[in-house]
């Protein structure tokens, strides 16, 4: 079983990630993780924290001479800003504690977390509920990406909408309408945009919307797309509700700070169409398709987003996640001091105008992680060679799944 845990506060000494279940023999370097951490820190509309932190993952366990050894992988990401917070975030008792945070921010975990854990200083909540924790999740997702490369899977993403500005319709339908679409190439193009949007006209309008929101002291949300190519059919299961891969992907994405909605494939737009439009016809695989997929079926479109009944069907996975505007506002909303009961403006904590461009990287990490879990569930292996060997055997089986397959008989 592949799983991970994280620990650490936003302004504490650092973030810790423990990953259990990574097969031995996987080539893994700090650079593989640092690449994704650096991507997470880029994006127009980010605040001052991004100029302070230059994240680096120190591998402290589970890797020797550049390869995993089968024991838990331990990662440490230092918080450079801790140098300015050592007394305020000290683990030992201090003579003069920092002034407590007592005015919860609407839209944040401040008040609900304070009531749950009996805190009258809401810093005890906001430090862990902060999006800083997503750096640890991106690190875990980077390890998952390395695993997926052994199995031919690529994960990529970009921004579809920011505030009221939306990319063109072709980007919203990318990977769904049956037209050829190279997500990796588009994502590489999007990386050149400060807002990670491949639609250049929309990207310019998004940047202008960010500038206007910053001037007015407000924040913006948006929608991100993530796709995975190279998936085999048969990941996940319909046998139990909690094994359905679509449910697990939705949970992983919804757990990201500020994500309030997830759709797979046509999702919400498909709900208003007829069944003849959104269910994907099945055809035999042609000779041209056999170069990219060994199984004897193909679809004329991909409105299901690569998942049917909680199981991958061999088409690209396409998911969209809606990110709400950030809760910390330069002109705070109304709140209440939890110690005095007095109506007051909410607490202000250093923040961004928007986190949508950076949310792409976090969403990619969440998707990569769940896919890596699904692959190891299906193919197992204490060493990566065993995993890849079982994977190759499965591909051979798929070639002969149907007696009429152009590849030959089933062998049943």
Please state which of the ranges 165-174, 303-312, 381-390, 398-407 shows the lowest mean pLDDT: 398-407
Is-contact 353 219, C-beta < 8 A? yes
**CA-to-CA distance for 350 and 135, rounded, in angstroms?**
17
pLDDT computed for residue 51 by the predictor: 60
Task: Write out the DSSP string of 346-410.
Answer: PP-----S--HHHHHHHHHHHHHHHHHHHHHHHH--SBHHHHHHHHHHHHHHHHTSSTT-TT---
Render pLDDT for 84-101 as a digit per residue (tens, 0 to 9): 898 899 999 998 899 999
What pLDDT does 354 receive?
Answer: 95
* CA-based nearest residue to 130, from 47, 51, 211: 47
Other beta carbons within 10 angstroms of residue 92's beta carbon come to: 4
pLDDT in tens, 325-353: 999 898 999 999 999 999 999 998 877 89
- DSSP annotation of 27: B
* Residue from 30, 35, 116, 105 nearest 74 by CA: 30
Q: Which two tokens stand for residue 351?
A: 């923040």
Q: How far apart are CA 212 and CA 159, in angstroms?
A: 19
Give the percent of the chain with pLDDT over 70: 94
| Structure token pair of residue 250 | 């939705």
Span 279-308, average pLDDT = 82
Average pLDDT in the 343-372 region?
94
Q: Which residue reads 């008989």 in tokens? A: 409
Res 404 pLDDT > 90:
no
- Mean pLDDT estimate for the chain: 92
CA dist 411 and 408 (Å) reads 9
Paired tokens of 93: 């008792």
For residue 297, pLDDT beyond 90: no
Q: Which fold has domain 102-390?
A: Chorismate synthase, AroC fold (3.60.150)
Which pLDDT score, from 0 to 100, does residue 52 have?
A: 64
- Encode burial over 257-292: b for 16+ CB neighbours within 10 A, e otherwise: bbbeebbbbbbeebeeeeeeebebeeeebeeebbee
């Amino acid at each position: 079983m592949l799983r991970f845990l994280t620990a650490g506060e936003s302004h504490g000494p650092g973030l810790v990630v423990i990953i259990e279940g990574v097969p031995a023999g996987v080539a893994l370097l700090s650079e593989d993780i640092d690449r994704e951490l650096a991507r997470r820190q880029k994006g127009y509309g980010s605040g001052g924290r991004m100029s302070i932190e230059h994240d680096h993952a120190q591998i402290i366990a589970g890797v020797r001479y550049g390869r995993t050894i089968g024991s838990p992988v331990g990662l440490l990401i230092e918080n450079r800003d801790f140098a300015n917070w050592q007394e305020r975030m000290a683990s030992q008792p201090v003579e003069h504690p920092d002034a407590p945070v007592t005015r919860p921010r609407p839209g944040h975990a401040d008040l609900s977390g304070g009531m749950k854990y009996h805190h009258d200083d809401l810093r005890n909540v906001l430090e862990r509920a902060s999006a800083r924790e997503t750096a640890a999740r991106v690190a875990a997702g980077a390890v998952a990406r390395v695993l997926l490369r052994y199995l031919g899977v690529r994960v990529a993403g970009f921004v579809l909408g920011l505030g009221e500005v939306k990319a063109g319709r072709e980007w919203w339908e990318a990977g769904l309408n049956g037209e050829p679409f190279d997500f990796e190439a588009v994502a590489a193009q999007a990386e050149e945009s400060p807002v990670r949007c491949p639609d250049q006209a929309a990207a310019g309008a998004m940047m202008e919307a960010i500038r206007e929101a910053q001037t007015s002291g407000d924040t913006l949300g948006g929608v991100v797309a993530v796709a995975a190519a190279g998936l085999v059919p048969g990941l996940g299961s319909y046998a139990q509700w909690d094994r359905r891969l679509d449910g697990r992907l939705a949970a992983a994405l919804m757990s990201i700070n500020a994500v309030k909605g997830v759709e797979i494939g046509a999702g919400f737009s498909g709900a208003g169409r007829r069944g003849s439009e959104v269910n994907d016809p099945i055809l035999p695989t042609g000779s041209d398709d056999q170069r990219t997929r060994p199984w004897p079926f193909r679809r004329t479109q991909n409105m299901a987003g690569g998942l049917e009944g909680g199981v991958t069907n061999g088409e690209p996975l396409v998911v969209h996640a809606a990110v709400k505007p950030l809760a910390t506002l330069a002109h705070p909303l109304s709140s209440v001091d939890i110690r005095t009961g007095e109506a007051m403006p909410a607490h202000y904590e250093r923040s961004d105008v928007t986190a949508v461009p950076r949310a792409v990287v976090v969403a990619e990490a969440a998707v990569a992680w769940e896919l890596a879990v699904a692959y190891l569930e299906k193919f197992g292996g204490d060493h990566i060679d065993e995993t890849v060997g079982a994977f190759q055997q499965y591909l051979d089986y798929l070639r002969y799944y149907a007696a009429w397959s152009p590849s030959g008989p089933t062998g049943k």
